[in-house]
Amino acid sequence: MGVIVVVGAQFGDEAKGKITDYLAAQARYVVRTGGGPNAGHSIHLAEGAVVLHQVPCGILRAGVTSVCGPGMVLDPKALEEEIRTLQERGLFRGELIISERAHAILPTHLVEDAWEEELRSATNPTAVLGTTRRGIGPAYADRYGRWGIRFGELIRPAKLAERLELLYASKPYLKNLPDRSQVLADLSEVATRLAPYVRPTEPILWSAVERNESILLEGAQSALLDVDFGTYPYVTSHHPTSAGALVGSGLPPSEVTAVIGITKAYATRVGAGPFPTEVAGDMGAYLQREGGERGATTGRLRQVGWLDLVLLRYVARLNGFSSLALTKVDVLGGLDEVPVAVQYVTPSGETLTNYPPADAEELARVTPVYEKMPGWPKFNERLVERIRSEGAAALPSTLKQFIDYVGRETRVPIEWVSYGPRREQTVWLGRSGGRTAAAGISAWAG
């Protein structure tokens, strides 16, 4: 079955966690390849909802090994807390391993994240990014500046002390940093408890590939938040793309069998940055309410908007999607019509269909042109039950029309539709036109 990459196709919060959890039923390994506690992956189990931030969602399934991959930046204290909560709830069912190459987010990074946002705000309020303030940007900056502390160092007390001294020395511009000896003492303690999880993870994954075991690379953040290909500077600090998933895991491109993009049937964005199809007013409030669009990490209300095919076509090519999972279609149930942006018109009158301006300000100035698709009914109990027993055939015909349309316009077949938060509320459509989905993944769900 090989290596399957799951990628967020919008601005985050597309229900990557839900789809990864669904696919994890067939996986042996689930690997997070980038980001850290900025992610909030909600999964609705019979036991109740669980929100994962740093632990890959394979943890919820016995027999699955979850890997915090080399590309991640992990907050050790928050990670320990997350592990403990999962254990207490009896949900820590799989195994967990942490790459020795993953970097630690330190208390200094949290201070720096807040300080940077204040600096932006004081200099130019429109420059504020609205980060999650989890220390992500500064941790990646230190990683690439080669000041960072890897988990392999974190768990060696003498090395940790040495690296921490250097890291502190690199930040003379930061006042009020937490006391270094206290930070060292705290970190050493947490590190002792996390040490048993820390491993070289690439050889484990390579052996899994040799044994033909399935590996799922769980996306976090999303392609439009990619530090290079997203809406820079309103992005996160790593590469939440299919290419980034390989760098962040140490798996080679030749082993990838499928790249699955996850998109909602509408769109959301949290934090600052351009959002061409944003909807305000009553309709915006309606979508926020129906979709429960509040950040799982920061509790912020998400801005909402319509599906944007210009961005989706761009992201599809950037990542090489073999298929798409379309999520939260139930949220739009009951609307008379569902607008979808099919192209942009720029202020100079130019038409754009599949490549948005790289410049965030230019992107903010485009005018989307909408195609209005007929709406579909609300997902009442009866409809949900019918889909569960009859499968995709029971989807409302106007929704099928919408699915075909999105597949045709993006040239990526829609392979799954998620019509509710629960695990079982996902339906497999098979290959629906456009490019052919990889056999492995189709066979999985079929």
Q: Are 234 and 128 in contact (CB under 8 A)?
A: no
Kindly indicate which of the ranges 5-13, 134-142, 154-162, 236-244 contains the residues binding Mg ion, using the contact rule CB under 5 A.
5-13
Backbone angles phi, psi at 165, to 5 degrees: -60, -45
Asked whether the bond before 233 is cis by omega within 30 degrees of 0, the reply is yes
The residue count for the chain: 446
Residues that bind ligand IMO (CB under 6 A): 8, 12-13, 38-41, 129-132, 134, 136-137, 220-222, 225, 236-237, 270-271
Q: Which residues contact 401 (CB under 8 A, 6 or more apart)?
A: 373, 374
Cα gap 24→59, rounded to integer Å? 10
Question: What is the token pair recorded at 246?
Answer: 């390989």
Q: How far is the CB of 190 from ligand IMO (least distance, A)?
A: 21
Minimal distance in Å, beta carbon 129 to ligand IMO?
Answer: 5
For 215, the token pair is: 């590996």
95 strand-pairing partners: 65
Q: Which is nearer to Mg ion, 11 or 168 (CB)?
A: 11
Q: Which is nearer to ligand IMO, 249 or 432 (CB)?
A: 249
Task: State the catalytic residue, choosing from 41, 53, 103, 239.
Answer: 41
Structure tokens at 47: 């036991």
x/- map, 142-181, Mg ion, by CB under 5 A? ----------------------------------------
All residues at 6 or more sequence positions from 56 whose CB lies less than 8 Å from its CB, including other chains? 20, 30, 31, 32, 66, 67, 68, 218
Q: Which residue, 35 or 420, is less far from ligand IMO as judged by CB?
A: 35
Burial bucket for residue 440 (CB in 10 Å: 0-12, 13-18, 19+): middle
Give min distance, CB of 244 to ligand IMO, in A: 13
Q: Which is nearer to ligand IMO, 271 or 434 (CB)?
A: 271
Total residues in contact with Mg ion, by rule CB under 5 A: 3
**CB-nearest residue to Mg ion:** 40
Cβ neighbour number for residue 76 with a 10 Å cutoff: 23
Nearest distance from residue 13's CB to Mg ion, in Å? 4
Nearer to ligand IMO, 5 or 39 (CB): 39
**Catalytic: 44?**
no
What are the E-state strand segments in 91-232? 95-99, 103-104, 198-199, 215-218
131 binds, among ligand IMO, Mg ion, none (CB under 5 to 8 A by kind): ligand IMO
Helices (H), 248-364: 281-291, 309-319, 360-364
Q: What's the min distance (Å) between Cβ of 12 and ligand IMO?
A: 3
* Residue (of 131, 135, 134) closest to 143 by Cα position: 135
- Token pair in block for residue 233: 């500077």
Q: Which of 1, 4, 8, 13 binds Mg ion (CB under 5 A)?
A: 13
| 41 in catalytic set | yes
Closest residue to ligand IMO: CB criterion: 271
Least CB distance to Mg ion at residue 132 (A):
8
Binders of Mg ion among residues 32 to 61 (CB under 5 A) are: 40
Nearer to ligand IMO, 130 or 157 (CB): 130
Residues that bind Mg ion (CB under 5 A): 12-13, 40
Catalytic residues: 13, 41
